[in-house]
Structures are given as structure tokens and as C-alpha cells.
Structure 1
Amino acid sequence: MKRELEVMIPAAYPLAGTLTLPEGNQEKYPLIVFVHGSGDIDRDSNAKGLAINIFKELSDLAVAEGFATIRYDKRGVGESKGDFLEAGVYDLIDDAQAVLEFAKKQPGIDPDRVILLGHSEGSIIAPFVNERVPVNGMVLLAGTAECLARTTEWQREKMMEDVRSLRGFQGWLLRLLKLDQKIEKMNEDMSKAILSTDAAVIKHKGKKINAKWNREHGVVDVSKVLVNAECPVLAITGTKDINVKLTDLDKMRELIPGECETHVIENMNHILRKTDKEGFSTIINEYKKIVKQPVDRELKDLLSGWLSEWKNREATVEAAELVMK
């Protein structure tokens, strides 16, 4: 059972969200703040044409474990105000910080027991928020440990490797058309257009692009703040995740000075579902079909176990502090 409250969060632009509390008479609950991945995503982590529903499922799981949760529509998405395309990385960090600070002040929330849970780009934003407003734990799902610009460069390399390795008539045709070279040229042209202006939004080949966000991700490096993450961290990535490097889990363990628990889930992709597909384009093309499945059970079990241990440890620390007094 749970209690859901629709809230409007004061920020640079008002952000619409859902604050969920477990049903019961406990005075204060620990809190999880959900931080989105990239794109125009709502509070449930759904985008137009791709309802991955990750945050709705994981919020239900967290509430069942005795946690309150807050999740919100991104700036300019759903019921939130503002313009999504005009938002840069630092704007998204500001928004997540505003949500955190708002939620900590709400009735029924224990402001001294807070976890940030980020998925994809949210795993970059969450450590920056923690740098400003230290929290008691972080969960980083399908995250990276470097500048996103380097990760997207790696993604393009993987995509081009995929094109070059295709067999049969399709592979022959793509190589004849020199698709890999065209992909590289398209990226170079777009990068030049983005870097040649300080505008927040540009129009490139008939399409609006969030130039400010792209420019800032060229310099924002999460590794610089992970080194100051003293709180316990849980990081999970799947072997079929073609959006981030699996080896970044090792980097996280090296960078994070506090407790860092990492897990690799076999055959889990970036949207946290199992797949038996191979190859960059094949895995991505399956997303719309595979979202009909629930979030991976193994990931849920790992998260439930970690949250339970975290809560028990926090309760033990709190009891010890009371004895000391």
C-alpha cells in the first residue's frame, strides 16, 4: 500500500512530480530521489514513443521496502514548466538539487536518510548533486565514470564497427554507400555547428538541437566528483548495454573513496531488460518491443537487497548515536 501526492516543486521553472510514501503510521521515512536519463523524459522515465517505465517500477519496489520516493517530470516535459531543449547539464543538476531540497522538507520524510538514484545520464547528475548537498547513498544504474562526450564517441565507434561487420547483401550495400564515413561526417558537421555558437538551441539540417546541453557535456566530467562521494554507492550495468562502457564499473570502484558495490548483469541492456540480441543496431531496434517486459528481475533483487542492508545499517548507526548521547 502507498500514498501518492502530486506536488509542484519550486525551481528555475516549476517542476511537477509525485511524492510517494508507504502506507503506515511511521513518523518519518527514508527517501529516494529519482534522477532521469537523457532525453525529454517524464517522472516515470517515459519518452514519447518509448515508455520504459523504469522509475515507476523501481519506485513501487522502494516503497515496498519502506522508502518514500520522489520522481518528477523533466523541465519542459509533462506538467513541468520551461523548455526542455534550452536546458543544459548544469540546469538539470540545479533541477535535481531543487527536487532533493524540496522533498527533504516534506512531512513524513527523514532528511537525514536520503538516497539519489540515477539512471544513465542521471548517474552523472546524481554525483554532482551529492557534491552540493551530500546524501546518504547513491544508486547508479547504467552509468558512466567519464565525460559523456567520450562515452558518445565510443558509442559511434561501436556503431561503425557494427556497420562494418554486417554480412550478406545488407552489409555489402552499407559498405558500398560508405555509411560509416557518412556517420562520422554527420557528427563532425553537427559538432562544428554546436561549437560555433553560444545559443541554447540551434537548428541544424531542419532539426532543433539542444546545443547548450551538448556543449556542457563536452566539459562536464563525473569522475571529478565521484572522488568525493563518501556515501555508500551501488552501481549496476548490463553486459548488453551498448550506451555505456562496462569497464566504467571498475573506474567507479577506483574513484569512489567510500563503499562502492558494483554488479554486472548478464544480457541486460541499457533500458534494464534482458535481451538475447547481439550488435549495436539490433539491440537498439529491439527497445520498442522489449519495453513491454518488466524491469529485469535480477536488478530488482539486487536493489531490494542493497536498500534493505542500507536501511538496517542506518538504523544501527542511529541507535548507536542515541546510546552515545
Structure 2
Amino acid sequence: MARRKPRIRRRRLLGSLLALALLIGVAGGWVLYRNSYDLREQRVTITGGAQPLDGVLARPEGGDGPFGLVVFVHGDGPTDATHDTFYRPIWESLAEAGYASLSWNKPGVGGAPGDWLDQSMDDRADEAAAAIAWARSQPGIDPDRVGLWGASQAGWVLPKIAERAPGIRFVIAVSPAVNWLRQGRYNLLAELADDHAPQSRIDAELARRERVNEQLRKGATYEQARAAVGADLGDLTPARWRFVLRNHTADATADLAALKVPVLLVLGGRDRNVDIADTEAAYRRLLTAPGQLTVRSYPAATHGLARPEVEDGSLYGLLVAVTSPRSVFTDGYLDDQRHFVATTAPVGGRR
């Protein structure tokens, strides 16, 4: 019997390894399944604007169309066409309502030509208007059912696009700000509050911010601002300073007042980037046509409309993002957008 023990141990080890391999295979298959979407994605080159754009056109899985189209406008930062895959659950929800989605790498991202830091909000609106003109000529796209989706910084771009691309049917504005400088001040104070900063630190940070804003008001170059305020510029690079200098006067008030199409305003109650009370008040004051404005607020959601426990950078959040990406977003967020587009510009009819 003693001579059989090594063989028994080997069999047990082999069995354990096989079980582990099976578990890994099942887990891997589950992850692949949860990261697959009912979409047909096509890499496209969007022409007609200041420069070619590297984009993705995501159509519904079934049928030949013509499909309505939602054009995606990114927030701040070096964003690629899929927003690191996080757009795909939104695209899928819109596809269920019969809509394709169009998005593109920001200039300079993923090898695309140009540099997004060289753009003003007007430049971004012109870029999107040119992309819409291109998309309206694509097979399977209904040129009469085109809407806009934009997040955060896109709040300064969306109403400009609607003016420059006639026939836009609706706008979905996710966590938009109204005024650039007010938004920055709110964000600073929200972060200090999260840090439980004493009043002395708050006063010092507001004073530092005012010194930087004074340089913006003067139109100072990066070198002039660095010489004047030194460390107050923090980690701002020359390119980022030029971007802020170009855009710090952005205010959506006048453009919103001219907007005539239905708008879905989406807000997260735990937004630390944008003052949602200020945004909602402005949208309600400016968008007054009967039925024009629909507001959806999600008290537990963050700026990105994610669940807080997912967006906090924890291991749990990473696991959810990898294994169940649709669950990243707060409950109701995807369904409400699908319902809005399906009822605002339905297939075969006009509202």
C-alpha cells in the first residue's frame, strides 16, 4: 500500500489541475460572453472636416436599417472611440431602440492625426458637424433621425453642434457643466470637502486658483504664467495651459437658449466634477418649450454615472468592469436612454 501513495497523490494533483483549468476556462468564457455585445462594429475613416477622423460605427446586430444614428461627443481628456470600451453598453442599449452609434478617437489619440489639446469648443462642434454630414451619406443610416450624446465637457459642444448641423432630432447631455470657471471652482471645493480640508487650506487653494485665473484673464502665455505664479500652476503642461487658455471662457447659456430640440439631461447625485444643482437650474430656465426637457437624476451615481463602489479604483470595481461591464453603470441609466430615443424619434414617424 505504501508504494501506491505517490500514484494516488499524482492522481489527486492531476484532478485538481484539471478542475482548476476547467474553472479558468469557464470563467474566461463567462468574461468573453459578458464583454460581447449585440452590435456590428465597423472601423471607419470620417472625412469632410479639418482632418480625417478614426472612428467606429456601431450598428444594431440585426437588419439592414435604415437605422437612426446617435453621434457621441467625448468629455475632457485623451479619449478613444470606445472610451476604453465603456461606451459599448450604451451603444447596445441604443441599438435596442433601432439606433446606430458613431464615435471617433480624439485627434492625436490612438495614432489619429492632430492634437485634441489644440481644439476650442467651436473646433469640436465643427468637427462633429462634419462627421454628421459624412454619416448621413452612409448606407443603412437614416439621415432624418440623427441625435447627439455627450458627456461632461461636451456640454459646451452639444448645443453648438445642433445649430451647425440642421435636423438634429435630440440631445442627450450627461453630467454637463454650464460655465467653465464655475465648474472648476465647484470641483476644487468638492475635492477639498472629500479630503476634510480645514478652512485654512480651502482659503489657500481658492487664493491660488484666483492667481491662476488672473493669468488666464490676461491671456498670459505658459512662460509668462509660470514666471508670475510659479508653483501655483501645479502640473499643468504648456499644451494643457494653451487648451485652458483657449477655452476657459466657455459658457453654454446662450447656446442652450437657442436649442430647440428635445433634451435628456442626465445627472448623478454624487458628481464631484459638476454642480448638478447649477446645471439643472440652468437647463430648466433655458429650455422652456413644452416637453422639451427631460431630467433623469440618479442619487447614487458618480460623474460618469457609475455606481460609486465601481468607480473608486478598488479591486471590486476592476472585477465588475472586467466581468460585467453593463453593471458599471447605475441602475436605470441605460434603460432610460433607450426609452428616450425610442419615443423621441421613433422608427417610421416623427414626434
Give TM class, smaller chain. Answer: 0.7 to 0.9
Residues 130 and 229 of structure 1 are in contact (CA less than 8 Å); yes or no, is this contact kept in structure 2? yes
Q: What is the aligned partner in structure 1 of residue 46 from structure 2?
A: 9
**Alignment of 1:210 onto 2:244:** no
What is the alpha-carbon distance in structure 2 between the residues aligned to residue 288 and residue 102 of structure 1? 41
- Specify which structure has the higher proportion of helix: 2
Q: CA, structure 1 residues 200+233, in 2 after alignment: closer, same or farther (shift >3 Å)?
A: farther
Q: What is the aligned partner in structure 2 of residue 38 from structure 1?
A: 76
Q: What is the aligned partner in structure 2 of residue 191 from structure 1?
A: 213
**Alignment of 1:132 onto 2:164:** yes
Q: Which stretch shifts more, 36-45 or 250-259? A: 250-259
TM-score between both structures, scaled by the size of structure 1: 0.80
Match of 1:302, SS state, is helix
Residues 148 and 158 of structure 2 are in contact (CA less than 8 Å); yes or no, is this contact kept in structure 1? yes
Amino acid paired to 1:28: P
Q: CA, structure 1 residues 268+157, in 2 after alignment: closer, same or farther (shift >3 Å)?
A: same
Residues 169 and 345 of structure 2 are in contact (CA less than 8 Å); yes or no, is this contact kept in structure 1? no
Match of 2:273, SS state, is coil
**Alignment of 1:238 onto 2:275:** no
Match of 1:42, SS state, is coil
Q: Which stretch shifts more, 292-301 or 133-142? A: 292-301
**Alignment of 1:56 onto 2:94:** no
Q: CA deviation at 1:194?
A: 4.1
**Alignment of 1:310 onto 2:344:** yes
Runs of at least 5 residues in structure 2 that lack an aligned partner in the other structure: 1-37, 227-232, 322-326
What is the alpha-carbon distance in structure 2 between the residues aligned to residue 90 and residue 131 of structure 1? 11
Q: What is the aligned partner in structure 1 of residue 186 from structure 2?
A: 154
Q: What is the aligned partner in structure 2 of residue 66 from structure 1?
A: 98
Q: CA, structure 1 residues 90+69, in 2 after alignment: closer, same or farther (shift >3 Å)?
A: same
Amino acid paired to 1:255: L
What is the alpha-carbon distance in structure 1 between the residues aligned to residue 222 and residue 59 of structure 2? 37
What is the alpha-carbon distance in structure 2 between the residues aligned to residue 245 and residue 133 of structure 1? 29
What is the alpha-carbon distance in structure 1 between the residues aligned to residue 262 and residue 345 of structure 2? 12
Match of 2:110, SS state, is coil
Of structures 1 and 2, the larger Rg is shown by 2
Aligned residue pairs total 293
Q: CA, structure 1 residues 288+35, in 2 after alignment: closer, same or farther (shift >3 Å)?
A: farther
Match of 2:342, SS state, is helix
Q: CA deviation at 1:197?
A: 4.3
What is the Cα-based RMSD across aligned positions, in Å? 2.8
Amino acid paired to 1:254: R
Instruction: Give the counterpart of 1:296 among 322, 330, 336.
Output: 330
Amino acid paired to 1:122: A
Amino acid paired to 2:149: L
Residues 200 and 210 of structure 1 are in contact (CA less than 8 Å); yes or no, is this contact kept in structure 2? no
What is the alpha-carbon distance in structure 2 between the residues aligned to residue 225 and residue 288 of structure 1? 39
Q: CA deviation at 1:189?
A: 4.2
Q: What is the aligned partner in structure 1 of residue 7 from structure 2?
A: none
Superimposed CA distance per residue, residues 67-115 of structure 1 (whole angstroms, 9 cap, x where no aligned partner)? 1110111111123210232222222222222222221121111111111
Amino acid paired to 1:239: G
Q: What is the aligned partner in structure 1 of residue 15 from structure 2?
A: none
Q: CA deviation at 1:264?
A: 1.0
Q: What is the aligned partner in structure 1 of residue 151 from structure 2?
A: 119
Match of 2:332, SS state, is helix
Residues 60 and 92 of structure 2 are in contact (CA less than 8 Å); yes or no, is this contact kept in structure 1? no
Match of 1:6, SS state, is strand
Q: CA deviation at 1:124?
A: 2.2
Amino acid paired to 1:246: I
What is the alpha-carbon distance in structure 2 between the residues aligned to residue 2 and residue 54 of structure 1? 14
Q: CA deviation at 1:34?
A: 0.5
**Alignment of 1:110 onto 2:147:** no
What is the alpha-carbon distance in structure 2 between the residues aligned to residue 27 and residue 303 of structure 1? 20
